[in-house]
Amino acid sequence: MNRSHFTFLRQVWTHLVRPYWTSKDRWIAAGLLGTHLILVGFFIFLSVWINYWQNDFYTAIQELNSHAFFSLLGYFCILAVFANICFMLKAYLLAKLEIRWRQWMTQHFVESWTSNRRYYALQLKGDGTDNPDQRIAEDIFQFINTTLTLSIGVLQQSIMIISFLGILWGLSGTLTIPIGSFSLSIPGYMCWGAILYAIGGTFFSMYLGRPLIHLNYESQRREANFRYSLMRFRENVEGVALYQGEEKEKEIFGIRFTQIVDNFNITLKRLLKMYSWNNCYDQVNGIYPVLLAAPRLFTKEITFGGFMQTLTAFRQVTSSLSFIIDNYTAIASWRATTNRLLEFKLNLESIPPSPLSHSIHEEEGIHVACEHISLPHGVILKEDLQLTFKKGENTLITGHTGVGKSTLARVLSGLWPYGKGEIKIPSSSFLFLPQKPYMPLGSLESVLQYPASNASKDEINKVLKAVGLQGLKPHLQDVNDWARVLSLGEQQRIAVARALLTKPHWLVLDEATSAMDEASEAELYGLLKKGLPHTTFISIGHRESLKPLHSREIRLEERAPLKKAAA
C-alpha cells in the first residue's frame, strides 16, 4: 500500500467516518456494532464447532456406525438452528446501524450543503461537484452499506483465518521432501500452501481489477448525467414542444447514453477478465487441497473424517485469505463511490470566504463600495461601484442586457461571491423576487407561504384575490408540481402574493413582472405599494413603463473591454 492509499484512507476516516462515530448517536451505534461483533464471534465459534463435527460425522460413515451417524445428524440440527438465529440477528443489527448512520450522514450533508448558501457557490464554481443530489441520495447509501460490509467482513475473515489456521496446522502434519541424500521437512505444510495460494491469487486480482475503480467512477457520473438530461426534458416539456426540439433532445439522450454504453463495454471486458480469473481460482481451489491432503489419507495417517475436516479447514482459510479476490469488484465500486462523496465533502469545506464582505449596520439604508465585481472565471464585470439605497426611495436599475443588473441584485442579496468590496445592509428583513419564481413541492398554500410565512387562510384568500388568482382558492390544499401547472405569469403573481404575505422592509425585484403586460405590471406595483407602505423597492427591468413607478433610476453603463481581476 503506497502513500496515496494511506492519504485516501485518512481522508475517508476524517471526513466521512469519524464525524458520525463522534456524534451524539455514537453510543447507540457502538451498542449495535458491538452486539453485532459479539454475534460474529459466536458465529465463528459455531463454524469451528461444525468443522470438528465434520470429522466425527465422516468418520462415522467410514466406520459404518449408524448410531453415531444419526446422533451426529441430530447434533447438527441443533447447531444449524443456533447458526440461523445468529445470522438473522446479525443481519438485523447491521441493517439498523446502517439506516441510523445513513440518516445522520444525510442530514449532515444536507446541512453542510445548504448552510451559508454553499449549494449556490458550488453551482457557480461548476468544477468537480456534478449531481450533488445523486451524491446525497445514492452515494451515501452505497458508501455506508459497502463500508460496513467490507470492514466487518475483513474483521470476520481475520478471526476465521486465526481460528482455522490453528485447526489446519494440527491436521496438516509434516511434509518430508527428499533432496538427494537430504530431506526437507515442512511442518504445517497445508497452512503454507493455503497462504501462498491466496496471496498469489490476491495480487493477480488486484492487478486485473485496478482499472475498475476509475471505470466505476465514470459509470456513476455518466449515469447521473443521463438521468439529469431526462429530468431536464421532463421539467421543460412545454419549451421543447414549442421549439419542436424533440429530435435535438433525442440526439442529446443518444449522445449521453452512448457514453454509458462505451464505458460499460470497457468495464465489461475488464470484468470478464476478473470473472475468468476468479473462476479458475475457485476451480483449482476445489482440487488443490485434495492433492495436498490425499497422500496422508492413502498412508492412513488420517481418517476419512480427518481428511474431510482438513479440506474444509483449508478451504475456509483460502476463502478468508481470498476476501479481496472475492470482493474486488465491490471494493472498486466502493472506492469510486467514496471518491465522489469525498470530493463533494472536500469541495463543500473548501469554499473560500468571499472578498465581497457583507455587514449589518445601524443605518436604515444600503451602501455598496466595491473595487470590482467579477464573473466566476475572473473577468471583471464592474469596477469602482459606489451606490447608496435610502429607506423609502424606490429605485429602478436599468441598462443593456449583460451589463450586470441581475448580478448587482445578487450582490445586494449576498449571493454573489466574486469581486472585492463591502456591502453594508440594515438589520431589517429582505425578500428577493427573481424573474422565474421558485415553486417548492407541496400544497399551493405552502407554496404561497414559502419560505416562512404564517399567514391565516383569510389573509391568503384576500391576497390571492388581490393578485388576480382567485380561481385558485379551491386548490389551496392540492399537492402538485406547481411550476408545471402554472404559467410564468401566474408564478410571478404567486411571488407578488408571497411579498404581500411576508411584508419585508426591503423588496428586490429582478424582472419579477416581465411575463406580464404593462397594465398588469403597473397594477401589481400599485398593489405592492399600497399593501407594503413601509417597504422600499429595488427593481431591475428594461421597460420604460417601470420608470414612473419609481422615484430614482440607476443606469448601469456598458463594461470596459474584458480583463481579469488580480489574484
Looking at the fold, whether 277 and 187 belong to one and the same domain comes out as yes
Contact 434, 405 (CB under 8 A): no
Whether 18 is covered by a domain: the verdict is: no
Among all chains, which residue has been given the C-alpha cell 411571488? Answer: 495
421: containing domain: 356-555
How many CA within 13 A on the CB side of residue 356?
Answer: 24
Residues in Cβ contact with 29 at an 8 Å cutoff, skipping those fewer than 6 apart: 20, 21, 97, 100, 101
Whether 174 is covered by a domain: the verdict is: yes
Looking at the fold, whether 300 and 185 belong to one and the same domain comes out as yes
Looking at the fold, whether 325 and 387 belong to one and the same domain comes out as no
Closest CA to 145 of 339, 337, 344: 337
The domain tally of the chain equals: 2
Domain final residue pick, 349, 369, 388: 349
Q: What's the pLDDT at 19?
A: 94
Looking at the fold, whether 234 and 110 belong to one and the same domain comes out as yes
- CA of 426: how far to CAs of 412, 414, 497, in Å? 11, 13, 24
Look at residue 567 and tell me whether its pLDDT is greater than 60. no
- Rounded CA-CA distance 21/26 in Å is 5
Q: Which CATH number characterizes residue 314's domain? A: 1.20.1560.10
Whether 481 is covered by a domain: the verdict is: yes
Closest CA to 124 of 339, 342, 356: 356
Looking at the fold, whether 321 and 418 belong to one and the same domain comes out as no
Q: Which CATH number characterizes residue 529's domain? A: 3.40.50.300
Sheet holding 430-433, edge to edge: 430-433, 506-510, 536-540, 395-398, 552-555
Looking at the fold, whether 304 and 437 belong to one and the same domain comes out as no
Whether 8 is covered by a domain: the verdict is: no
Looking at the fold, whether 342 and 390 belong to one and the same domain comes out as no
- Rounded CA-CA distance 157/423 in Å is 60
Looking at the fold, whether 379 and 303 belong to one and the same domain comes out as no
Let me know the angle formed at the C-alpha of 528 by 523 and 532, rounded to the nearest 5 degrees.
155
- CA of 441: how far to CAs of 108, 480, 482, 484, 486, in Å? 22, 7, 8, 11, 13
Query: According to the per-residue pLDDT averaged within each range, which of 7-11, 43-47, 147-151, 558-562 is highest?
Result: 147-151
Residue 476, judged by CB atoms within 10 A of its CB (0-12, 13-18, 19+), counts as middle
Domain final residue pick, 305, 334, 349: 349
Phi, psi of 96 (to 5 degrees): -65, -40
Looking at the fold, whether 328 and 410 belong to one and the same domain comes out as no
Looking at the fold, whether 168 and 185 belong to one and the same domain comes out as yes
DSSP H/E element including 373:
strand 365-374
pLDDT band per the 50, 70, 90 thresholds, residue 220: confident
Whether 10 is covered by a domain: the verdict is: no
Whether 410 is covered by a domain: the verdict is: yes
Contact 283, 315 (CB under 8 A): no
Tens-digit pLDDT profile for residues 505-526: 999 999 999 889 888 999 999 9
- Rounded CA-CA distance 372/296 in Å is 86
Q: What's the pLDDT at 227?
A: 87
Pairing of strands 365-374, 430-433: unpaired
Q: What's the pLDDT at 96?
A: 96
Tens-digit pLDDT profile for residues 296-347: 888 888 888 888 888 888 888 888 888 877 787 888 889 888 988 998 898 8
- Rounded CA-CA distance 258/251 in Å is 10
Whether 56 is covered by a domain: the verdict is: yes
Among all chains, which residue has been given the C-alpha cell 447438527? Answer: 76
Q: What's the pLDDT at 238?
A: 66
Looking at the fold, whether 322 and 390 belong to one and the same domain comes out as no
Domain final residue pick, 312, 327, 349: 349
- Rounded CA-CA distance 552/245 in Å is 43
Whether 323 is covered by a domain: the verdict is: yes
Q: What's the pLDDT at 22?
A: 94
Looking at the fold, whether 296 and 405 belong to one and the same domain comes out as no
